Amino acid sequence: MNNKKNLEINRKIYHKNEVDANKELAKGCIFSALVVILVWILYLVRVFKVSNHTFLLVSVLFPILIVAFGSTYFYTKTKIIEKPAFKYFLIIQFIIGVFALNIIIPKHGILMWTTCIVLVNHYYDPKLSLCTFILVALLMFIAIYAGMFLGEWDSNLLNGAEDITVYDYDGKTIIRQFNSDSSTFEDRRAWLDYLRDVKGDNRYAKVFTYYYLPRVLILLIISNIAYGVSRRSLRLLSKEAGLLEEKHRQDSELKVATDIQYSVLPKELEDDNKNNIFGLMDPAKEVGGDFFDYFYIDETHLALVMADVSGKGVPAALFMMKTETLIKSLTLTLKSDTATIMKRANQALCSNNDANIFVTCWLGIIDLATGEIRFTNAGHNKIIIFSDGNEFYSNDKPGVVLGAFTESKYTENRIVLNNKDKILLYTDGVTEAHNSHNELYGEARLLAFAKKNRDLSPKLFVNSLRTDIDLYAENAKQFDDITILMFNYNNENLVSESRTFPADVKELDNLFDYSSSLLKLLDFSNRDIIMINTALEEVFVNVAKYAYEGTGTVVITLSKFRDHITFVFKDRGVPFNPLEKEDPNINASSEDREIGGLGIFMVKKIMDKVTYEYANNENILTLVKYKKNEE
């Protein structure tokens, strides 16, 4: 595929050069037509004196030459000039025109043969230049000898003054006396015979030796120079074609890189509770070092990422892809501890970082049930928070950028969003965008824009902000990547309630009352309520019996979404992951079956999804149950 594209590029380059050369040759023809018109006028007013038969020849040939040369003007206005074979028509037409002029005015037209060599050189074709020289040399030979008899009188050819007296061969009797301007074909032949037979002056041989040969040698020198220029120009043209091929290849690779980069960006998101988020990335070059991401960790937690890799172009884009993949993988693995995620990412990015590239990064994990955001800032711009009609920058202290120092430490921060609150993430390409006066867009202008446009949806806000930056920058070149991300938190349709229970099996009845009342409000069937309570009982009893050596508590949070509910159990007891144990073989006999594991196995069968994590010194077990559509 690439070879075909390269051949196509070469073909287009050479074709364009031929079209340009055709146009140059056509211009030469048009200019020649103007010159012929001027010469014809000079002949008509007898500035140039010629014999009657030569004047007749001029009167016939010059109009033909003018039409032939002048018609090329109309060719330049049509597509025919782009045809590859059209150059041969133009070249032959021009050479024949010069041939006719050389016959009529041999002592002046001889110089026009050089124009044939020069104009053909525009095609950068050495073979064409060589063929042109051979044709020119042949036709010039014919034109010179034809001009001796048909053209204006040329004393260099005929070796005679203006008035010629021809004697008989004995040198005594006058045969004829005539003026050179009125000489006929027969007069010239007689004169040349007289010079050869009487004077011993063979003009045919001398014209070849002293007139034609020096001129053809001069043309040979010019042609050789033109031939060398053609070869050199052809090499340059080939080099240009190679450079264009390389540029095309690089452009193709950059386009692929751009497509890949945009393909990893998340799409616009709106979940069942109308939490919506929209992001935009506008690189300063074909590919950039900024990126944003958002993805669900589980049914109730959404991760937001905004990062800016140092530098621009392909190196930054490659490092960006590595960073994006790393952070997403770590976030899905560690789930909630953003400081640890940043620490691990930093250690991985510092390893083999010979290019000394670093990344500023903001990572936040949103609990959609509560609106709590746990986030860590690694040298990135502070976010803007939209809350209760106020817009302000977060008060966190950014940590060290990723990829700089292996032992860097990071701190997790927490904020809580209320219903309808928003957060705005961005890179420094926004605040450092500058106008023609080299003035920065700045944080103050950004905050003012946020206050003015607080009620816009994330998508409309982000696009409006990008437009405002362009208007501010006027015609100034974009210096840095511009990336923007806005999240709107909406929990008006979310049912969520948390309750703390003593870790005691005596609390089971209270747990059932709590869960059953909520499940009934959520239109779960009695059968589903019994099954769900069975699963809750198994988990609660395990915590009550084994989590604490003494007394303790367990926090249970129920959250309802459109098509599912979640139960989150949190306790500060002994770290224990019940999902690590393999499922029991229920087909084995009671004697062969290993003890334990049946309870959590039953929980997994009743619920649709069960996950575990240990974070902030807490065991966190999440149970998910999807609501079945009633037929």
Last-in-domain residue among 461, 488, 515: 488
CATH of the domain at 386: 3.60.40.10
pLDDT for residue 469: 94
Q: Which of 88-97, 184-193, 416-425, 501-510 has the lowest mean pLDDT?
A: 184-193
> How would residue 70 be classed by pLDDT, with cut points 50, 70 and 90?
confident
The per-residue pLDDT for 619 is 93
Domain range enclosing 27: 2-153+214-240
What pLDDT is attached to residue 286?
Answer: 63
Residues paired with residue 363 on neighbouring β-strands, in sequence order:
305, 376
pLDDT value, residue 275: 55
| In-domain check, residue 180 | no
Residues 596 and 619 in one domain: yes
Same domain, 367 and 508: no
List, in sequence order, every beta strand (DSSP E) within 549-617: 553-560, 564-571, 609-615
Residue 9 has a pLDDT of: 45
317 and 440: one domain?
yes
pLDDT of 259 reads 64
Question: What pLDDT was estimated at residue 7?
Answer: 44
- Residue 410 above 50 pLDDT? yes
Instruction: Give yes or no: residues 480 and 515 share one domain.
Output: no
478 lies in the same domain as 516: no
Rank 25-29, 488-492, 601-605 by mean pLDDT and report only the highest: 601-605
| Range of weakest confidence among 182-186, 294-298, 513-517 | 182-186
Q: Which of 11, 57, 456, 461 is nearest to 241 (CA)?
A: 11
Mean per-residue pLDDT over the chain, rounded: 81
CA–CA dist 537, 516 (Å, integer): 12
Domain check: are 277 and 314 in the same one?
yes
Q: With the C-alpha atoms ordered 354, 431, 466, 461, is the resulting torsion angle positive or negative?
A: positive
Q: How many domains is the chain built from?
A: 3
Burial (CB count <10 Å: 0-12, 13-18, 19+), residue 443: middle
CB 279 within 8 A of CB 484: yes
Instruction: Decide if pLDDT at 249 tops 90.
Output: no
Amino acid sitting at position 59: S
Nearest in space to 570 (alpha carbons), one of 585, 556, 588: 556
Model confidence over 343-377: pLDDT tens digits?
A: 999 999 998 888 788 999 999 999 887 788 999 99
**pLDDT on residue 56:** 78
* Per-residue confidence band for 495, with pLDDT thresholds at 50, 70 and 90: low
In tens, the pLDDT along 253-289 reads 666 656 666 666 776 655 444 558 899 988 877 666 7
Q: Which helix (H) or strand (E) holds 165?
A: strand 163-167
Q: Is residue 517 part of a domain?
A: yes
Report for 23-32, 247-256, 568-577: range of highest mean pLDDT: 568-577
Would residue 248 count as lying in a domain? no
Q: What is the pLDDT of residue 345?
A: 94
Whether this model's pTM surpasses 0.75: no
Half-sphere exposure of 220 (CA within 13 A, CB side): 8
Choice between 432 and 592, residue whose per-residue pLDDT is larger:
432
Cα separation values, 171 from 159, 167, 197, 299, Å: 18, 6, 12, 127
Same domain, 509 and 601: yes
Q: Considering only 32-36, 285-289, 457-461, which range has the smallest mean pLDDT? A: 285-289
Predicted local confidence at residue 456, as pLDDT: 92
Which phi and psi (to 5°) does residue 76 adopt?
A: -65, -15
Statement to judge: residues 89 and 105 lie in one domain: yes
Residues 286 and 396 grouped into a single domain: yes
Most confident of 128-132, 243-247, 580-584, 595-599: 128-132
Reported as a single tens digit per residue, the pLDDT across 377-395 is: 999 999 999 988 899 999 9
- The single-letter DSSP state of residue 434 is B
Task: Please report the pLDDT score of residue 11 as a whole number.
Answer: 61
Is the model's pLDDT at 100 over the cut of 60?
A: yes
User: How high is the pLDDT of residue 586?
Assistant: 63
Q: Which residue has the tokens 């044939």?
A: 116
Tell me which of 270 and 628 has the higher pLDDT.
628
Rounded Cα distance, 320 and 345, in Å: 12
Q: Which two tokens stand for residue 425?
A: 């993430």
406 Cβ contact list (under 8 Å, min separation 6): 346, 347, 350, 351
DSSP state of 268: P
Instruction: Please compute the mean of the pLDDT values over residues 473-494 and round it to a whole number.
Output: 83
565: closest CA among 603, 611, 600, 519? 519
The pLDDT value recorded for residue 444 is 94
Residues 218 and 366 in one domain: no
**353 and 462 both lie in a single domain:** yes
Position 19 scores a pLDDT of 79
Q: What is the pLDDT of residue 28?
A: 79
- Answer whether residue 172 shows pLDDT above 80: no
Give the side-chain half-sphere CA count within 13 A for 90: 35
Residues 450 and 563 in one domain: no
Is 196 a domain residue? no
